[in-house]
């Protein structure tokens, strides 16, 4: 097999990159170890920045998002039992966020790629990348059978390889130890997340600081809601019957005005680890990393999918220049441009996390400082504007 760009991973980064390249007349093949059904049914969060929404609409992927997504013009910070609204729309001159789940974005991308005749190979196995420092990289894999097992060995020759295969993928390890630097951080807590069939309790997201720990009220649709609360990352979901979950959420989200969370049947329970990670550089030779393969952020700042989309936007521009003129000027700056945004997102996500979560062993000073920080953010227009600008998304960088 031969293509111009071999893409490992059919997540938001890999599929959007393939779509952007197609619009520029550049061929690609996407390889994915999971099935299409698994990708489209795995429910993930989806807070889209204004720039992400604008880009998806610009490239023909915004029709269903605009019809079914929930536009939020603000968020709420709740602490000390009081709710303080941050008006994102007013503070950022008209920008908003859109809640549209990641698996819905993936459905739109897969549909667009297949309708355009794009090659997206699901259920492959034994994927490996080779010769990425030369001019003829190769991707080897098995296709066919269950999960690629038992399939015939295949080799995809390409001009470039895009590693969009997530944090646990194989592409990051292809960067030599001598050139890569990794910056990990593990937080001492996780998020217990539930999906519930219940009416909306609030028109906008609520970030709650409480002595018992952090809680978040999100939404998916008028009937399905997503809720989280801070927990021990080593806990077991079996320790949390529905009654205990609702009692904990009601306690952490209690407000002076008597507001109550709407309860309903719990459809899904999971514990999410909290960590951050960055690799530098995000490229070596003709291998380029994008999305979770290169960086992870705590979910508090809602930056994960947005960073992936920002990455491939930059990469698509560089590849377009190369195939049009032979110049590598933009590709050479890929890491520099992307990492500037990545580290700003890490800074903001860390700030959001440390301002709202309970840290075990804290003598009490930390909690007082958190409350002072939240009080400042909600009483200072300058501080609120800074939060709003980061939350709706800083301007997309270009090479």
> Which residue numbers are catalytic?
72, 207, 299, 303, 391
Among positive and negative, which fits the CA dihedral 8, 11, 12, 15? positive
Cα angle at 230 between 229 and 233, to 5 degrees?
125
Query: 3-state DSSP: the chain helix, strand, coil percent, rounded to 5?
Result: 40, 30, 35
Task: Give the separation between CA 182 and CA 214, rounded to whole angstroms.
Answer: 28
Q: Which two tokens stand for residue 152?
A: 């015939």
Q: Which residue from 167, 169, 37, 168 is spatially nearest to 103, judged by alpha carbons?
A: 37
Q: At 216, phi and psi to the nearest 5?
A: -135, 130
Measured CA to CA in angstroms, residue 263 lies from 168, 196, 197, 199, 243 at distances of 35, 8, 8, 8, 10
Q: Which residue from 70, 48, 51, 58 is spatially nearest to 23, judged by alpha carbons?
A: 58
Cα angle at 380 between 374 and 384, to 5 degrees?
70
Q: Which two tokens stand for residue 325?
A: 């003129």
């Amino acid at each position: 097999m031969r293509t111009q760009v071999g893409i490992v991973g059919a997540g938001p980064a890999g599929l959007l990159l393939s779509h952007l390249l197609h619009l520029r007349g550049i061929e690609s093949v996407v390889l994915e170890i999971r099935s299409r059904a698994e990708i489209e049914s795995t429910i993930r969060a989806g807070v889209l920045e204004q720039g992400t929404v604008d880009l998806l609409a610009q490239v023909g992927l915004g029709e269903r998002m605009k019809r079914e997504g929930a536009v939020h013009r603000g968020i709420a910070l709740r602490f000390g039992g009081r709710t303080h609204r941050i008006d994102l729309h007013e503070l950022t001159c008209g920008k908003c966020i859109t809640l549209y789940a990641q698996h819905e974005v993936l459905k739109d991308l897969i549909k667009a790629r297949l309708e355009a005749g794009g090659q997206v190979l699901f259920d492959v196995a034994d994927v490996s990348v080779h010769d990425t420092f030369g001019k003829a990289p190769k991707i080897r894999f098995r296709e066919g059978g269950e999960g690629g097992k038992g399939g015939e060995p295949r080799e995809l020759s390409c001009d470039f390889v895009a590693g969009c295969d997530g944090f646990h993928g194989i592409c990051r390890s292809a960067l030599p130890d001598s050139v890569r630097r990794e910056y990990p951080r593990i937080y001492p807590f996780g998020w217990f997340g539930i999906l519930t069939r219940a009416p909306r309790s609030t028109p906008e997201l609520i970030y709650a600081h409480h002595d018992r720990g952090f809680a978040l009220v999100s939404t998916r649709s008028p009937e399905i809601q997503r809720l989280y609360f801070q927990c021990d990352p080593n806990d077991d979901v079996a320790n949390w019957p529905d009654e205990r979950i609702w009692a904990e959420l009601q306690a952490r989200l209690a407000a002076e005005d008597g507001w109550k969370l709407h309860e309903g049947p719990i459809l899904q329970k999971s514990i999410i680890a909290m960590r951050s990670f960055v690799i530098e550089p995000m490229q070596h030779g003709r291998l380029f990393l994008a999305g979770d393969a290169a960086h992870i952020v705590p979910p508090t700042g809602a930056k994960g999918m947005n960073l992936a989309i920002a990455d491939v936007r930059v990469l698509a521009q560089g590849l377009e220049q190369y195939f049009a003129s032979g110049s590598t000027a933009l590709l050479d700056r890929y890491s520099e441009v992307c990492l500037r945004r990545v580290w700003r997102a890490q800074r903001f996500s860390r700030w959001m996390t440390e301002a709202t979560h309970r840290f075990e062993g804290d003598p009490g000073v930390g909690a007082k400082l958190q409350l002072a920080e939240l009080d400042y953010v909600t009483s200072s227009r300058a501080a609120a504007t800074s939060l709003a600008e980061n939350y709706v998304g800083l301007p997309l960088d270009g090479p």
